[in-house]
Amino acid sequence: MDAESTDVQAKPVGKRLFQKGNPGGPGRPRGKVGRERREVEGEGMLRAMRFVLANDPRADLEPLEKAARMWLVKDPQKFLMKLEDEENKERKLNVAVGDEGQERVERLIEKLMKVGVNDG
């Protein structure tokens, strides 16, 4: 041995590393990682579009979810524009007709924007 060697010796790697006792091997996650389904609100295509954005591709089970995922991969810009469109439609449907509180808030917002309160 030369003077530069250390007293610490390397330990050999055991054969059990990839055997039955350690199914994932070192550093690999075990089980169905990424397949937890975070549920989202909405119906039909809007729900599928929201689901695709909130979940891993391996969680896609329904045909609408798979179609939305393919659309997102192929053309993300159009996908996001359509999602915004659908959410605006849903928002308009959820506002009750003749909702005095909503109308009052909208008028106040318009007044504030005219005055320029947000202009630093």
The pLDDT value recorded for residue 110 is: 83
The pLDDT value recorded for residue 25 is: 52
Using 50, 70 and 90 to split pLDDT, how confident is the model at 114?
Answer: confident
Average pLDDT over residues 104-108: 83
Quick one: which of 49, 36, 41, 120 has its CA closest to 80? Answer: 49
For residues 25 and 12, what is the distance between their CA atoms, to the nearest angstrom? 16
Quick one: which of 25, 7, 27 has its CA closest to 15? Answer: 25
pLDDT, tens digit, for every residue of 58-95? 888 889 999 999 999 999 999 999 999 998 888 888 76
